[in-house]
Amino acid sequence: MNSVGLFLDRDGTINTEVDFLTRPEDLQLIPNAAEAIREANRLGIIVVVITNQSGIARGLMSEDDVQAVHQRLEELLAARGARVDAIYYCPHHPDYGTPQYRKACTCRKPKTGMLERAAQEFGFDLRSSFVVGDRWVDMKAGELAGCGTVLVLTGYGATEREECEKTARVDHIAADLYAAWLYIKHRLQKQQQTSERAT
């Protein structure tokens, strides 16, 4: 299924929400998140993390800090037999920061730049792919890119649920990333069965 992409928000979806996570030692995986990613890996699905990191623009962290957090994330996933194929982050903010980072970019969710970059680099079909996240910007980015969308109730998901459903298309609501993965796996299996019957 390497024509399918699984886009995952980072904070509140894979790891516990910490406002402006700057230190690798503060990163903690949400229970069963690694297991969801590991199962997607085994099916040949491309797993990509897409995360807004406006703390860089706000001067709260550096890009080196973000890279260190991502290295820690990859280490914790690897310890559980899981991996992500790429991590994309947006360091920009339209209203804060130095000129380098203060801009209305195309990568900051709900814009679709990170999703389009991944689809181009890995060669998968956005319309066959899924976005999982805990905020309305994740759902909107998925909708605008033509992906399936799954809202998780970890992180900000429970408090943003109503706003998500009002401002974006939410295909499914799941308790956490693993529950989201079970839904996505079921959808993919149904799609595969349909295509097999059509051939």
| 9-50 tens-digit pLDDT | 999 999 999 888 989 999 999 999 999 999 999 999 999 999
Q: 122 by DSSP, 3-state: which?
A: helix
**Closest to 140 (Cα-Cα) out of 183, 105, 117, 109:** 109
Q: Please state the pTM of the whole predicted model.
A: 0.95
| 148-173 tens-digit pLDDT | 999 999 999 999 999 999 999 999 99
Q: How many structural domains compose the chain?
A: 1
Q: Which domain holds residue 99?
A: 5-198
The answer for residues whose C-beta is within 8 angstroms of residue 112's C-beta and 6 or more apart is: 106, 141, 144, 145
The CATH code of the domain that includes 12 is 3.40.50.1000
